[in-house]
Amino acid sequence: MIKLSQRDPQWGDLKLGESNLTINRWGCTTTALSMLSDYFQSYFNPGELATKILKYTKDGLIIWQSVNNIRHMAFEKRLYGRNDSEILKSLKDPTKAVILEVDGKHWVTAVRKSLVGKSYKVADPWFGDICTVPGRYKKITGSSHFNHK
């Protein structure tokens, strides 16, 4: 899976749908979904997702069902709070993937369960790197799950 940063100048100044919010500042979810599109072998960069494929509310929030517009990728469910059993189910199945809401305001792409403790390795769209939760971010506050279609 490709690692991307929402702050990449190639797409950072583009708007999220019809909102006035830019990928650079508010596009963590879009960038996390772009990474998953690569995982599902149907890569679209964050700019393509934000301007052509995904749908957003007027406030720049993703309409989850619009993820179904991405080839080979289907939205399954959005969960609130930390649910390790559901996160692990998605991580163990190669036909599924999950993004995690952390600290109630940021989304990262789950890569795998860490070998030690109750942490996860994640691809962070702010920095475009791999880190852990908890670690860089304190807690998981939700998750969205996807599968191959």
CATH code at position 140 = 3.90.70.10
Q: Tell me the average pLDDT of the chain.
A: 96
Residue 112 lies in a domain: yes
Residue 115 has pLDDT above 80, yes or no: no
Residue 16 lies in a domain: no
Residue 6 lies in a domain: no
Closest to 109 (Cα-Cα) out of 90, 89, 85, 81: 90
Res 136: pLDDT: 96
| pLDDT category of residue 117 using cuts at 50, 70 and 90 | confident
Distances in Å between the Cα of 82 and the Cα atoms of 24, 125, 142 are 27, 20, 6
Res 84: pLDDT: 96
| pLDDT category of residue 116 using cuts at 50, 70 and 90 | confident
> pTM value?
0.96
Residue 5 lies in a domain: no
Residue 40 lies in a domain: yes
Residue 2 lies in a domain: no
Closest to 75 (Cα-Cα) out of 86, 64, 85, 83: 64
Residues 6+ apart with CB under 8 A from 61: none
Residues 6+ apart with CB under 8 A from 102: 108, 122, 133, 137, 138, 139, 140, 141
Residue 79 lies in a domain: yes
Domain that holds residue 121: 23-148
Residue 96 lies in a domain: yes
Q: How many domains does the chain have?
A: 1
| pLDDT category of residue 62 using cuts at 50, 70 and 90 | very high
| Average pLDDT of the segment spanning 69-73 | 95
